[in-house]
Amino acid sequence: MDIGEFNSHASVRFNHLFYDGVDTVELASHYGTPLYVVSESAVRERCSSVRKAFLEKYPNTRAVYASKAFQTLDMCRIIDQEGLGIDVVSGGELFAALKAQVNPGAIVFHGNAKTLDELEYAIENDVGRIISDNLREISEVERIAARLDKKVKLLYRITPGVDSHTHRFISTGSLDSKFGIPLDSSVRNDYMRAVLNSPHIDFRGFHFHIGSQIRDNFSHLAALGVALKLIVDVHTDYGFDVSELNLGGGFGIRYLPGDPETELGYFLDPMMQLIRFEMEKAKIPMPMVTIEPGRWIIGEAGITLYELRSVKTIPGIRTYVGVDGGMTDNIRPALYEARYHAISANKADWSHDTVVTIAGKCCESGDILVKDVGLAEPKPGDIVAVFSTGAYNHSMASNYNRIPRPAVVMTTGEGRHRLSVRRESYEDMLIREF
């Protein structure tokens, strides 16, 4: 497959991999490696697709970017400029969004174990929505809101009990999950009474999220069916009309050349049709519908550049190539068995027929970035580009083995680039220590 068919922002010129019109070999030389490279133009294209496939197509809809996938001040500002909201899951993510001057009303605050400080910070700053899934949090929100004389818009996260057909570590919609309220009627009554009897809580409805990197729409539709039945039951049992329904995210992307390209409409069109059908049948007003794409917006927009440091062949077994990064900048292969595609950025026109396993530099046998991928006659000093690393690489990066975290460079689609996050130094890693 031509690399441009796999990633439309990638091309080959003068035997080098270009990304957004920028020579990646020159980027590696200028900024050093490992290096996260994020295409701002690709991010904006995905945001435009969200508007066309959802916001402009269906009335009374919202989209918020799940910033846990990749959150920088730069990214927050881009998302805000594109007219999407921001989903945060901690006080730190909320702080960053506010620091980037995102409108607080466009922020949705998730999390199953928010601290009192986080709740107070969110309510003080008038975040748009709080998503809750436990009764203690309801009482805490009510108490804080009463003291501050605020009224908090709140949704419940539910546990729909569906199989999302993804890795068990990123499946979040099963009955046995730390996320969401159980839907047993005896439990549900306690939760509903808690919000309906709270004078400082404006209960809006329900949220679900069944998992991440979902490639089919069956799981989403199954979960939606559960949520819609709940909306009808709440209407019948409490005379309460749900005004909002949040469908979460989890829409899958391409990691390998053989992966199908899935448009948002594949997921969303059947879901919107089902919502309209069930609401009309029950004679219940159509709720505002929200989605939370994260990976789908940022995942394919990012690549990571490494310098190849070593080549070791074990006859009859495999060839390992060692690079100057690893699980500290991409934990997903070790954590989720995630798979990636890679090419030799400085030999992009060569035949990539030397099958190797790309190993990281951490002192762990499991520090393997890509297994059994074809590279072009690997030699120390080569630049290796790994694709679709925009989501959960930078945001999950660590300092294990006292390795500094990489820089982030943004490209613009016009052959230009800028430093977005500087490379961490050794001093940075010790700044909190005495």
Nearest to 228 by CA among 214, 211, 245: 245
Encoding tokens for residue 1? 């497959």
Q: Where in the chain is the domain with CATH 2.40.37.10?
A: 3-39+299-430
CATH topology of domain 110-293: TIM Barrel (3.20.20)
Residue 181 has a pLDDT of: 79
Whether domain 3-39+299-430 has CATH 2.40.37.10 = yes
Q: Is the pLDDT of residue 413 over 50?
A: yes
Q: Where in the chain is the domain with CATH 3.20.20.10?
A: 110-293
DSSP result, 122-178? HHHTT-SEEEE--HHHHHHHHHHHHHHT--EEEEEEB-------S-GGGB--SSS-S
At 396, give phi and psi (nearest 5°): -105, 10
Q: Is 362 annotated as catalytic?
A: no
Q: Is the pLDDT of residue 255 over 70?
A: yes
At 352, give phi and psi (nearest 5°): -95, 70
Question: Which residue in 47, 76, 362, 363 is the catalytic one?
Answer: 363
CA distance 56 to 344: 41
Q: How far apart are the first and last CA of the chain?
A: 53
pLDDT tens for residues 308-366? 999 999 999 999 999 999 999 999 999 989 999 999 999 999 999 999 999 999 999 99
pLDDT tens for residues 94-131? 999 999 999 999 999 999 999 999 999 999 999 999 99
CA distance 216 to 245: 21
With contact defined as beta carbons under 8 Å apart, do 279 and 285 qualify?
A: yes
Q: Is the pLDDT of residue 20 over 90?
A: yes
Nearest to 221 by CA among 178, 167, 293, 164: 164
Angle at alpha carbon of residue 130, lines to 201 and 299, rounded to 5°? 165
CA distance 267 to 164: 13
DSSP result, 78-129? HHHHTT-EEEE-SHHHHHHHHHTT--GGGEEE--SS--HHHHHHHHHTT-SE
Encoding tokens for residue 392? 């959960």
- Whole-model pTM? 0.94
In this prediction, residue 176 has a pLDDT band, given cuts at 50, 70 and 90, of: low
Per-residue CA distances from 424 to 131, 303, 430 (Å):
33, 19, 11
Q: Is the pLDDT of residue 183 over 90?
A: no
pLDDT tens for residues 123-172? 999 999 999 989 999 999 999 999 999 999 999 999 887 764 443 433 44
Q: Which residues partner with 419 through β-bridges?
A: 409
